[in-house]
Amino acid sequence: MSMSKAAPVRAFTGARIFDGNSWNDGKALLVADGRVLAMPAPAELPGDVEIIDVSGQMIVPGFIDLQVNGGGGVLLNEDPSAEGIARICAAHAKFGTTGLLPTLITDTPKVTAAAIDAGRLASQTKVAGFLGLHLEGPHLSLARKGAHDPALIRPMLDEDLQRILSCQGVFDVMMTTIAPESVTPAQVRTLSAAGILVSIGHTDSSYETALTYAAAGARAVTHLFNAMSPLGHREPGLVGAALSLGGLHAGLIADGIHVHPAAMGVALRAKQGPGRIFLVTDAMSPIGTDLTGFTLNGRQILRRDGRLTLADGTLAGADIDMISSVRFVHQVLDIALDEALRMASTYPAEAAGLSNRKGAIKVGFDADFVVLTPDLQMASTWIGGVEVYRAD
């Protein structure tokens, strides 16, 4: 992990620059004070800038991951601390993620409170890449629990609601995944009015119920297709609502294991805007390590052949990083590279309400970007204009 000292003004030259909308050739990227200053022609650069030559490479917007359970050997549930959060962010920076939401899987009120305290400290100490928290549960459906501990799943009480509301304004993003089986529309209205990003997931919700919760203020759907009733021709369910409602954004795990590539392609072609399908890793602690397993809520999770599973074979998060997800979408699904990159940056920024300063390379935006080789391998990662990772 290398941390360069912030220079007054830096110019990145020689790369193709994808600004989130289009490709720019023959331009330099000028960065100062953590922000994008300009994108001039190299001949127009002032004489006193630090030149960083990235010839033959690509500069693309930094990836944003709204569902990250762990990385670097740390699982937020097992280490709800600011240090744990910093290790998770550092692990994912190696794979191009410049902003993420450490995600707490269903746990006790005590662990939830500890994770929120850790998030507050991570925010105060400005941990690079930390955007806020995602509480995935415990207010889910038992029937669609996935790897969540059924003993800890329960309806949302007022104290639970207040605990989430206490995060209002503390983080850039506060997100929670809820199921209509355990949370009322009135509770969703309260959360949404407070600026909390409410996502529907782990549910057998009908299409009509999903519409009711979207009208109450839910803006997203958690890992589309997974832990929800499938799309039926007479009961479209949450999948149908996610694809047909323009107001809903939807996360997607693009590892080829959680969702069949054909189903991904159908969803991407069917999705109504302005809400879009964006990539999430749903990554667990082994990312960036050679760990062969780990513990979640006292249960052993096995890692093999790209899968993370409970002993009974239930998928427990994903063993994929963001640049690998981009490569999968581009190479396997044959999605244009610019669109694959938007799915990892622009669209999650829009879902999280950050599109006024993240998810693109624009003047005034945060200088969060990734330098990639022509074959989509990592070269370096920059957060706020500071290099946080460089490939050996």
Structure tokens at 250: 């939807």
Helix (H, G, I), strand (E, B) or coil at 114: helix
Q: Which CATH number fits domain 63-351: 2.40.400.10, 3.20.20.140, 3.90.950.10, 3.40.640.10?
A: 3.20.20.140
Question: What CATH number was assigned to the domain covering residues 10-60+361-390?
Answer: 2.30.40.10
C-alpha distances in Å from residue 139, one per residue of 116, 383, 391: 17, 34, 40
Q: Going by C-beta distance under 8 Å and a sequence separation of 6 or more, which residues neighbour residue 180?
A: 200, 203, 205, 209, 210, 212, 213
Q: How many other CB atoms are there within 10 angstroms of residue 23's CB atom?
A: 13
DSSP letter (8 states) at residue 372: E
Query: Quick one: pLDDT at residue 7?
Result: 54
Given the residues 204, 282, 319, 366, the one annotated as active site: 282
Domain locations in the chain?
10-60+361-390, 63-351
| Dist. CA 329–CA 331, nearest whole Å | 6
Task: Tell me, rounded to whole angstroms, the distance of Cα 36 from its chain centroid.
Answer: 22
Distance between CA atoms of 213 and 186, rounded to whole angstroms? 9
Cβ atoms of 87 and 70 closer than 8 Å: no
**DSSP structural state of residue 256:** S
pLDDT in single tens digits along all 392 residues of the chain: 444 454 579 999 999 999 999 999 999 999 999 999 999 999 999 888 999 999 999 999 999 999 999 999 999 999 999 999 999 999 999 999 999 999 999 999 999 999 999 999 999 999 999 999 999 999 999 999 999 999 999 999 999 999 999 999 999 999 999 999 999 999 999 999 999 999 999 999 999 999 999 999 999 999 999 999 999 999 999 999 999 999 999 999 999 999 999 999 999 999 999 999 999 999 999 999 999 999 988 899 999 999 999 999 999 999 999 999 999 999 999 999 999 999 999 999 999 999 999 999 999 999 999 999 999 999 999 999 999 999 98
What does the pLDDT read at residue 4? 46
Are 388 and 4 in contact by the 8 Å Cβ rule? The answer is no
Which pLDDT value is given to residue 286?
Answer: 93
For position 250, what pLDDT does the model report?
Answer: 98
Name the token pair of 197: 């990003």
- Residue 290: active-site member: no
pLDDT at 203: 98
Name residue, tokens 């601390």. Answer: 81
User: For residue 289, what pLDDT is reported?
Assistant: 93
